[in-house]
Structure 1
Amino acid sequence: MRASMGRVGSCYDNAVAESFLATMKAEIGTRVWAMRAEARQAVFAYINHYNHKRLHSTLQHRTPHEARACYRQPIALAA
């Protein structure tokens, strides 16, 4: 991962990523894996869990996958 390239004092550029990473660290821990492949597998398993099984209160207790499936772009009517 790379450090944020936003301006100093701009807290909005990576707030979502920081929140996600803090949640991931809390849920899978910060242990040291023996091999990079094991760490990668743990991160991808967590991302799959986060997107397909973990319910989010801000999404009316749905998963992000369910919320995206139900999302409809508003259609602009031509005048």
Structure 2
Amino acid sequence: MRIIQSMSRKGNCLDNACVESFFGHLKVELRPHLFDEAVDVGTAIKKYIEFYNHERPQIRLNGMSPSEFRNIFLQSA
């Protein structure tokens, strides 16, 4: 299947901290165990990613969504 495993440095959890944080929120907020069909889960994940990036406020971003923060950052650069 020509799949290549990609690993960060051994035992360094900080390499993937932002991704681990996102998946933690996804698991809690989306509650995938409530779905009957895999298609429903895929659609819900796509919608959640849009919500997370464009609407969900982030405490570490001063209450802005990631896209709002990015736009402000790019305007100031």
* TM-score category of the 2 structures, normalised to the smaller one: 0.7 to 0.9
Indicate how the Cα distance of structure 1 residues 35 and 49 shifts in structure 2: closer, same or farther if over 3 A, else same: same
5 Å-filtered alignment, 1:39-78, equals: 39-72=41-74, 74=77
The answer as to whether partners of 1:4 and 1:14 remain within 8 angstroms in 2 is no
For 1:40 and 1:9, locate their aligned partners in 2 and report how far apart those are by CA, in whole Å: 30
Of residues 4, 8, 11, the one that matches 1:6 is: 8
In the alignment of these two chains, the number of paired residues is 73
- Tell me the CA shift for residue 16 of structure 1: 1.1
Specify every segment of 5 or more residues in structure 1 that has no aligned partner in the other structure, as ranges.
Answer: 75-79
The answer as to whether partners of 1:55 and 1:63 remain within 8 angstroms in 2 is yes
The answer as to whether partners of 1:51 and 1:64 remain within 8 angstroms in 2 is yes
Query: Structure 1 stretches (4+) deviating beyond 3 angstroms?
Result: 32-35
- The percentage of aligned residue pairs carrying the same residue is 33
Q: Which AA in structure 2 matches 1:8?
A: K
Structure with larger Rg: 1
Normalised by the length of structure 1, the TM-score is 0.76
For 2:5 and 2:26, locate their aligned partners in 1 and report how far apart those are by CA, in whole Å: 17
For 1:7 and 1:71, locate their aligned partners in 2 and report how far apart those are by CA, in whole Å: 30
- Tell me the CA shift for residue 13 of structure 1: 1.5
More helix by share: 2
The answer as to whether partners of 1:6 and 1:13 remain within 8 angstroms in 2 is yes
Specify every segment of 5 or more residues in structure 2 that has no aligned partner in the other structure, as ranges.
Answer: none
- What value does the CA root-mean-square deviation take over the aligned residues? 2.2
Indicate how the Cα distance of structure 1 residues 50 and 3 shifts in structure 2: closer, same or farther if over 3 A, else same: farther
For 2:52 and 2:40, locate their aligned partners in 1 and report how far apart those are by CA, in whole Å: 18
